[in-house]
């Protein structure tokens, strides 16, 4: 890992339903990543942002959990300590696929517990609402709980 090229650009993905912006650290300027979009940044810039505690990359715990931006390069995630080389410890990110699994729970109690355990940020709450719409969720109790928990209305 020590021979990673910090100048190499890697893809980062915006996991939010809105555009994200932040100032660069290693060079002048700003970064804009459109909603659900991707951009490429140097490993050095990503590392500098994480060390500066940009929670969009470092997450709630500094280890990438619940980050709004996902680094699609495993070597970079390992270098930052977000993931182990053997893949046993993975970054805790809320993805549409993970939300689909939550929406599939049959019992209301399990469904509610999973949402409360896993969905923390406003960006994740909005992703939950949008994914439930995309999946055409048709369960009054689940929709009602999602609206109460997220404070977002479930209208089209």
pLDDT for the residue numbered 156:
57
Percent of the chain beyond pLDDT 90? 78
Distance CA 7, CA 42 (A): 5
Cβ–Cβ under 8 Å, residues 68 and 14: yes
- Output the pTM of the full model: 0.84
Enter the tokens of residue 148. Answer: 């109460």
The whole-number average pLDDT for the span 2-15 is 90
What is the 3-state secondary structure of 20-41?
EEEECCCCCCEEEECCCCEEEE
pLDDT above 70 as % of the chain: 97
CB 25 within 8 A of CB 31: no
Mean pLDDT, residues 143-152: 95
Q: Are 96 and 66 in contact (CB under 8 A)?
A: no
Mean pLDDT of 44-55: 95
Average pLDDT over residues 41-62: 94
Q: Is the pLDDT of residue 147 over 90?
A: yes
SS3 115: helix
**Residue 1 reports pLDDT greater than 70:** no
Stretch 57-67: mean pLDDT: 89
Cβ atoms of 15 and 64 within 8 Å: the answer is: no
Q: In the predicted model, what is the mean pLDDT of the chain?
A: 92
């Amino acid at each position: 890992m020590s021979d990673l090229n910090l100048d190499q650009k890697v893809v980062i993905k915006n996991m939010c339903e809105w555009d994200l912006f932040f100032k660069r650290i290693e060079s002048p300027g700003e970064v804009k990543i459109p909603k659900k979009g991707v951009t490429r940044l140097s490993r050095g810039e990503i590392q500098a942002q994480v060390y500066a505690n940009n929670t969009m990359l470092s997450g709630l715990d500094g280890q990438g959990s619940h980050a709004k931006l996902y680094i699609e390069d495993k070597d970079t995630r390992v270098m930052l300590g977000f993931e182990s080389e053997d893949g046993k410890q993975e970054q805790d990110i809320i993805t549409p696929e993970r939300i689909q699994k939550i929406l599939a729970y049959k019992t209301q109690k399990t469904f509610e517990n999973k949402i409360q355990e896993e969905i923390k940020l406003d960006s994740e709450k909005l992703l939950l609402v949008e994914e439930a719409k995309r999946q055409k969720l048709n369960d009054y109790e689940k929709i009602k709980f999602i609206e109460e928990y997220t404070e977002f209305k479930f209208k089209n």
